[in-house]
Structure formats: structure tokens, C-alpha cells
């Protein structure tokens, strides 16, 4: 039963509601204030921005690698030093870094009991990452191990290709992985395959070819046959190198796919790094034993203080870049992530001009422009998608607010009508 006073209050409230809701849409300022936009967009956008930094830092590592290699250290030993340096820090962090997990072990006294999705009681607790270096579930463990194996095999393919082919041929073929990745990401991860992504991957590959100037396209010069300009094969070519180059390209693409897959499963960045360290050490030792018959591959400690500085710079920059790469590839779409990562060739060439005084050619300048254009295409597409998401989110919130207002107004009108009828009955 409603009293006359209550009826008047409801009528007043209804009038206020009608006046304040005379506009079908809520105020734009109130709606937009609810849409919180990160400084750099979504986590995927942050991952792509981080990959630009990764490409630059990897290029710096390449400079240190070239300087250290010029001092007489074989590439397999340099990789071993880098992996060992990185592994020491990764294991140290994993000994102190904890992650939350859920378990069904009733005998475990640690942890807090929580309700599972199936109604069964489960226990939530935190464990050190070092106790679960390859993940907490069999599925995650398989993906992390596969990531390490593919990365190790890609390492073998890369260095065999460098040894078997002229440097330009090897880099050009190995850096075609974005073209493979954009299609593999569609097949294995269900990522969107847009024409702009394919176009960006293709022009990025063309740009790398123009920078590396492979001999099977541009031909040999007298300097190349004398062993200059990065050609250490004295004009000879091992046909098997072209096969290993394509395999290495596929393995590099697989690394992007597995890292992204592991990220979706909740794998920690340190677990991805541990997988690389474990199999990187194994494959570097195996590969060094296989080619140990060559005089230029025998391991030896750096003979000068400058060589030690080069090795240290390579280890530090390589570790920083690899940590950022695994985190970025975990949260960014694999297809466009590979296109952004391929800009490493552009940054490397710029550093060759600045550090080593290399004179740029017209074709290489065009290649740099093409790679920069591919990154710009990816960035423009991502910015468009982010703006579209924000617009849709704003519209959805406006529609939701309008629907709530209408429901509230309907309730008030129904309740006011009921109270009015009750008051009339009392008066009668």
C-alpha cells in the first residue's frame, strides 16, 4: 500500500526522470570518461612498439657480434657465450620469481581452497618459476619444449646457411620469414589475414633483398670473389645452403607461432627464455662438435681486452633484446609482429653506415625505404583498428546507458501507476 506522500514523491521523481532523460543519449563527456584508453593502446599495440625497440637492440648486438667475430672468435663460441650469459640471469630470476597455480592435491598444506568450475574444491598457491621451468600443464610444457627445439634447429640452419652461402644470399633467404608467418598465423592461430599484412610482408622481403644484395640476383663482383664484402666462401656455393636457408626461414616463423601460442596459454616470459637457453646450449655444443674439423671454428678465449668488451656488449644487448622479444611476441599477433621484427635488417644497415663507414648504394636506400614503409603500413592498420575498437566501445556504452535509463523509467512509471491506483481504491 502506498501513502499519498509516497505517491507525490514518486510523481515528483517521475517528473524529474522525464526531464533529465528528455535526451535519448547520455552526455558525451560522461560516456567517454568511462572508456579508459592506455597511453599506447592495447597490449598488442604495446607488443608491436616493443618489437621496434627489439629490432634496434638486436642490430646493436649484431654490431658487437661482428666486432667480436673480427677478433678471431668463431660464431658458435659467441652464441655459446651469449646463451650462457643469458641463462645465468634467467635461472637467477626464476629462483626468486613466483607464479600462482591451482592444484587438486588435498595433502598439500600450503595454499588457499577455492571452488573450481566443476564444483570440486581446488587449492590455489604460489610456486617459484624454477620449480616449473617448462610450464604447469602438459599442454604448455609441450609448446615450450617445441619452442626451444624449433629455436635450436633454426640456429643450426642459420649458421650452416651463413657458412654455405654468400652472406647476402643467406640473409635475404632467411629474412623471408614474415611472408611465411602471416599465413602460418592464420592457419595455426586463427589470426586475421588482411591484404595490408600480406603487402607489408612482401615489400619487407623485397627491401631486405635490396639491402643484402644476394649474389644469385645481383651477381658476383671481383671483391666478392676475393672474399670481401662479407663473402667468406671465395665464390663457392654449397647448394645445400639454399635448402637450409628455407628451413631456417620456416623455423623462425615457427618460433613466432609457438611463442604466441604459449602466451595465450599463460606461459611466463622467463619460461620462454629458459626454453631457449636450454636448447640453445645443447644445439650450440652439438653444432660446434659437428664442424670442429675446421680451423676457423676452434674455440678459444678472447685474446685482448677489446675482444672481451665486444663479447660483453654482445651478451648484454642480446639478453635485453631477447627478453623483450619473447614478451612482445607473446602478446602481439604473430603475422604483423614478424613484419615489424624484420625491420632489424634496416637498422643493421644504418648502423653499418654509422659504425663501419659503409657507403650506401641506391638499391640499399630503396630497400630501407621499403622496410620502413612495411612497418608504417602495419602501424597505420593497427591505429585504425584501435580507433575502431574505441568507437565501438563508446557506442556500446551509450546503448547500454540508454537501455538502463529506459528500464529505470519503465519501472518508475509502473510503480507510480500502481501506487496511484492503490490510492484511488483507498479514497473510494
> pLDDT band at 11, cuts 50/70/90?
very low
> What integer is the mean pLDDT of 167-183?
84
Whether the pLDDT of residue 13 is over 80: the answer is no
Beta-sheet pairing, 112-115 with 98-103: unpaired
Other CB atoms within 10 A of residue 37 CB? 13
> What integer is the mean pLDDT of 364-381?
89
Q: How far apart are CA 221 and CA 242, in angstroms?
A: 20
Sign for the pseudo-dihedral over CA of 193, 197, 202, 204: negative
Whether the pLDDT of residue 8 is over 50: the answer is no
126 beta partners: 100
Q: What are phi and psi of 427, to 5 degrees?
A: -65, -40
> pLDDT band at 419, cuts 50/70/90?
low
Q: Rounded to whole angstroms, what are the CA distances from 235 to 170, 220, 223, 231, 240?
A: 14, 8, 10, 8, 15
Other CB atoms within 10 A of residue 340 CB? 26
When the pLDDT of each residue in the chain is averaged and rounded to a whole number, the result is 77
> What integer is the mean pLDDT of 15-36?
40
Q: Rounded to whole angstroms, what are the CA distances from 287 to 77, 306, 346, 349?
A: 10, 27, 29, 28
What does the CA dihedral 204, 76, 67, 170 come to, rounded to 10 degrees? -30
Amino acid at each position: 500500500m502506498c501513502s499519498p506522500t509516497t505517491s507525490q514523491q514518486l510523481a515528483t521523481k517521475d517528473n524529474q526522470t522525464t526531464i533529465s532523460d528528455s535526451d535519448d543519449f547520455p552526455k558525451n563527456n560522461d560516456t567517454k570518461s568511462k572508456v579508459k584508453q592506455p597511453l599506447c593502446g592495447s597490449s598488442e599495440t604495446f607488443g608491436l612498439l616493443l618489437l621496434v625497440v627489439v629490432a634496434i637492440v638486436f642490430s646493436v648486438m649484431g654490431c658487437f657480434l661482428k666486432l667480436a667475430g673480427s677478433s678471431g672468435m668463431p660464431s658458435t663460441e659467441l652464441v655459446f657465450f651469449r646463451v650462457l650469459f643469458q641463462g645465468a640471469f634467467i635461472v637467477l630470476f626464476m629462483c626468486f620469481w613466483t607464479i600462482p597455480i591451482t592444484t587438486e592435491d588435498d595433502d598439500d598444506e600450503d595454499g588457499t581452497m577455492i571452488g573450481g568450475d566443476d564444483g570440486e574444491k581446488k587449492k590455489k598457491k604460489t610456486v617459484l618459476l624454477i620449480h616449473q621451468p617448462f610450464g604447469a600443464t602438459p599442454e604448455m610444457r609441450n609448446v615450450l619444449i617445441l619452442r626451444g627445439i624449433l629455436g635450436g634447429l633454426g640456429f643450426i640452419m642459420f649458421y650452416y646457411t651463413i657458412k654455405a652461402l654468400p652472406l647476402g644470399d643467406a640473409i635475404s633467404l632467411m629474412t623471408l620469414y614474415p611472408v611465411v608467418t602471416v599465413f602460418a598465423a592464420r592457419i595455426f592461430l586463427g589470426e586475421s589475414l588482411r591484404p595490408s599484412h600480406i603487402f607489408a610482408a612482401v615489400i619487407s622481403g623485397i627491401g631486405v633483398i635490396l639491402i643484402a644484395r644476394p649474389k644469385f640476383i645481383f651477381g658476383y663482383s671481383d671483391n666478392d670473389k676475393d672474399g670481401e664484402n662479407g663473402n667468406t666462401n671465395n665464390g663457392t656455393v654449397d647448394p645445400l645452403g639454399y635448402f637450409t636457408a628455407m628451413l631456417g626461414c620456416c623455423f623462425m616463423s615457427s618460433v613466432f607461432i609457438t611463442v604466441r601460442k604459449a602466451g595465450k596459454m599463460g606461459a611466463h616470459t622467463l619460461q620462454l627464455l629458459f626454453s631457449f637457453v636450454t636448447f640453445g646450449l645443447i644445439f650450440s655444443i652439438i653444432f660446434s662438435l659437428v664442424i670442429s674439423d675446421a680451423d676457423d671454428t676452434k674455440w678459444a678465449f678472447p685474446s685482448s681486452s677489446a675482444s672481451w668488451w665486444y663479447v660483453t656488449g654482445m651478451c648484454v644487448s642480446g639478453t635485453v633484446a631477447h627478453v623483450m622479444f619473447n614478451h612482445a611476441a607473446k602478446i602481439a599477433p604473430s603475422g604483423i609482429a614478424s613484419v615489424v621484427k624484420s625491420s632489424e635488417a634496416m637498422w643493421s644497415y644504418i648502423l653499418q653506415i654509422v659504425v663501419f663507414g659503409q657507403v650506401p648504394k641506391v638499391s640499399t636506400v630503396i630497400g630501407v625505404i621499403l622496410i620502413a614503409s612495411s612497418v608504417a603500413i602495419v602501424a597505420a592498420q593497427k591505429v585504425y583498428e584501435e580507433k575502431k575498437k574505441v568507437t565501438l566501445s563508446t557506442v556500446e556504452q551509450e546503448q547500454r546507458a540508454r537501455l538502463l535509463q529506459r528500464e529505470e523509467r519503465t519501472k518508475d512509471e509502473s510503480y507510480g501507476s500502481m501506487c496511484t491506483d492503490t490510492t484511488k481504491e483507498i479514497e473510494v
